[in-house]
Chains A and B, each alone.
Chain A
Amino acid sequence: MGAVTYPDSRVAEFINGRMVPIQMLYDAQPFASTYNVKWTPTMIVLDGEGKEHHRIVGFLPPDEFLPALLLGIGKTAFDADELDKAMADLDKIITAYPRSAAAPEAMYLRGVVRFKKSHQAEPLKEAFEQLKRDYPASEWAKRATPYGLL
């Protein structure tokens, strides 16, 4: 990550603008134990209380790391019931990084956000149809399968 991904100007600017980055050795205590770190690199997205919302283990190139970070930020907002904020970052993943590994999960979670905002089942069904169309082999298409019955 330190040789390829973090030096990428898009990555550095994104992190500096949207997150508070802290770096530590893999065995730094008490944090390595607190967060159960077993391999490197391990990147964890936390809220201001130190609660984990998203974890990335293993190297990712910039074009995968950026949407993975957006997903982490979106999940942090989702977990805080900040649905509009979550929606904005999930939309960004789907429109700007549609071929990334984060995109299917973002599409699934966007359906859930839309459901929570509308209290209507239709967004869940739409999410399933979109996942079936765009990411049929993804685990998120499988997870959304029950929504196809709504």
Chain B
Amino acid sequence: MAEVMWVQDMEKALARAKSEGKPVLLDFFNPG
């Protein structure tokens, strides 16, 4: 089964988005 491969660091996410030409999906969640 596929899983979303979440990035944990915003700077890394933005850098990857720029280098790969993709938008970022930023998900705010509440575990409770």
Contact = CB atoms under 8 A, between A and B. Distances in A.
Main secondary structure of the interface of B (DSSP, over half): mixed
Main secondary structure of the interface of A (DSSP, over half): mixed
Contacts of B5: 16, 21
B8 A22 contact: yes
B28 to A, nearest CB: 4
A45 B30 CA distance: 18
Contacts, number: 124
Category for how many chain A residues contact B: 35 or more
Contacts of B9: 22
Category for how many chain B residues contact A: 20 to 34
Interface stretch (A25-33, A98-106, A109-117, A124-132): A25-33
Contacts of A13: 2
Contact of A25 (B2, B17, B30): B30
Interface in A1-56: 1-2, 6-7, 9, 11-13, 15-16, 18-26, 28, 31-32, 35, 37, 40-50, 53
Interface of B: 1-10, 13-18, 20, 22-31
Interface of A: 1-2, 6-7, 9, 11-13, 15-16, 18-26, 28, 31-32, 35, 37, 40-50, 53, 69, 72-73, 76
In the A-B complex, list the 6 residue pairs whose CB atoms are closest, starting with the nearest: A48-B18, A12-B2, A48-B17, A40-B30, A46-B24, A22-B13
